[in-house]
Every structure is written in structure tokens, then in C-alpha cells.
Amino acid sequence: MAKLVPAAHAFPVLDDHCHLDRRGDFLDAVRDFHRAGGTHLVVVHKPDFTALPTTRDAYRASLEATCAMAEEVRRETPVKAWAAVSPHPIDLVQHVSNGLTLAEAEALVLAGIEEAAALVAEVRAAALGEVGRPHFEVPADVMAAANRLFDSALALAHDLGCAAVVHTESTTPEVCRDIATRARTALLDPGRVVKHYCPPLILPHENFGLMPSLLASRPNCREAASKGDRFMLETDFLDDRARPGSVMPLATVPKRTYGLLQDGSFTPDLVEKVHKVWPERAYGFSIEL
């Protein structure tokens, strides 16, 4: 069988959750992604927990910096990119650790989420994300505040008509049910709620209508493809030179897609669904070569 040539870029290949950092490889990583066959990126805001914003204006500036990186990707490379912006769910915990009261921390993070919503309204960002709650155990009052912020973000996503990219504890069907219930309460279509770092829970009774975004490991991809085609793929690339290749190198999604298409694990129809049909429905933007 003749080897597929990624350089031909015969079809869209989207990594729907990556982080970029001007202190990291940034455009060099994007160019590696493109050489491997990648065509589109969702660039998700990367928090700096060593220097969190402490005012609304500082949050705005931090989120704008992520939008600016997506804009530079579009301007300087062949890759089309969109930004997803929001304070990270861990910001709440960090602000409390840094000395704010829980009420002060909640108000500050809500202000940041509102600034993220403003950037979506201004069409500088395409989605709110990451929103949700901590992935580790926290005191009950902190978790309650995190869930209030989560619900506020979902309501804003409905008002804006945009997607919400969600970070939570390890994803199970029970977690998916809770998130989907929160989305419906906010009048947001669960199909516009992208569950980041999701295992292959791609059947309706597993994800309750959420859009699963799977880390692009071979086992995840093969299990998902054995069940259906309603999923997206991500690397959660951190662009951190202290941890090169974490969580996965940015070129992984195109390399994995072409490899699994080559060995028959993916079909052309599945590739179109994963990299074009479902992302367009979830995010609302158009994916074209």
C-alpha cells in the first residue's frame, strides 16, 4: 500500500485542544504540526499559576494574549487557528491559596470569565475554555463556588451562542450526566459542551450528549473508532520547554490520523466526521482547506 503523504493536506486535521506559549516552541511547533498534516487548531488559554491575574483588567490582558497568539498563527503559518479563553478552574483554588477570601476569589474569577465572554462577543475568541471545576479534591465550599462559576460560564456560552470547553475531575458517565444536566439548565446544547481530556465515552448513554474530545493515543482512537465516529481529538500540548512533548507533541493528531487511516483503523468518513463535521457543529466555525 502506498504511504499517504501528509504534505498533500488532502483533508482537514484539527487538534481541538492545545496550548501555545511564546516562551516555548510556539510557531515552530505549529509548523511541525502542519508538516505532519495538521491544518486547524483550537488554541486554549494557558494559565500561569506563578503569576495569576489579580484584577479584571489583568485577566483581560492575559486572555487577549492568547487571542493574539491564535491570530499570529493564522498570519504567519498555513494553519487556521481559533482561541478558546477563560480563567482556568484551578485559578479559584490558587487565588484562595494566595490569600484571597473565597468570596473575593470567586468574584475575581467571575470577572475573568466575563472578560472572556467579551472577547467571544468581539469575535477575537471562538469559545469559552477551559471552564469547569478542579480535577482534585478541594473543600466543599470551594467546590460549590467552582460549580457556581461553571454554571455561570455555561449560561454565558448559551447567551453568546458559543462552545464551552470543559475541564473537570476524571471523566466518567456520571460526570458526563452532571455536566449535561448543568448545560441543559443553562439552556446550552450539550453538543456544544466539549469535554476536554475525555476517555472514549462516545456513545449517548456514556456522554449524555456532550462532545467528547479524546487525547489522541492509539488505544483511545482505536476504542473510539470501534464504537462510532462522534468524537474529536486533542493533544493538550503544553508548549513547555521544561516538559518537552507534554502532554503530547503538537504533531501527534495529524500523525495519528494518517497512521490509523493507513492501517484501516480509521475510514475516510470517520476522519471527515472527527476533523470537520463534529467540530463545526460543536464550535460553530467553518473548517475548510
Indicate if the pLDDT at residue 162 is higher than 60: yes
Q: How much of the chain, in percent, has pLDDT values that exceed 90?
A: 96
- Between CA 47 and CA 282 the distance in angstroms is 23
Q: What is the pLDDT of residues 248-262, one digit of tens each?
A: 999 999 999 999 999
C-alpha cell at 165: 470547553
CA separation, residue 289 to residues 21, 78, 216, 274 (Å): 25, 10, 22, 15
Evaluate whether the domain defined by 11-273 bears CATH number 3.20.20.140.
yes
pLDDT of residue 110: 98
Identify the residue with better confidence: 75 or 8: 75
Q: Scan for cell 449535561, then name that residue.
A: 180
Task: Give pTM, 2 decimals.
Answer: 0.96
Q: Is residue 7's pLDDT more than 90?
A: no
The pLDDT tens digits of the residues spanning 267-285 come to 999 999 999 999 999 999 9
Q: Are strands 127-132 and 193-198 parallel, antiparallel or unpaired?
A: unpaired
Q: Residue 2: is its pLDDT beyond 60?
A: no
Residue carrying C-alpha cell 482537514: 12
Residue where the block lists cell 443553562: 186
- Label residue 8 by pLDDT band (50, 70, 90): confident
Q: How confident is the model at residue 173 (pLDDT cuts 50, 70, 90)?
A: very high
For 106-143, write each residue's pLDDT tens digit. Answer: 999 999 999 999 999 999 999 999 999 999 999 999 99
State residue 131's pLDDT score: 98
Per-domain residue ranges of the chain: 11-273
Confidence of residue 201 (pLDDT cuts 50, 70, 90): very high
Rounded to a whole number of angstroms, the CA Rg of the chain reads 18
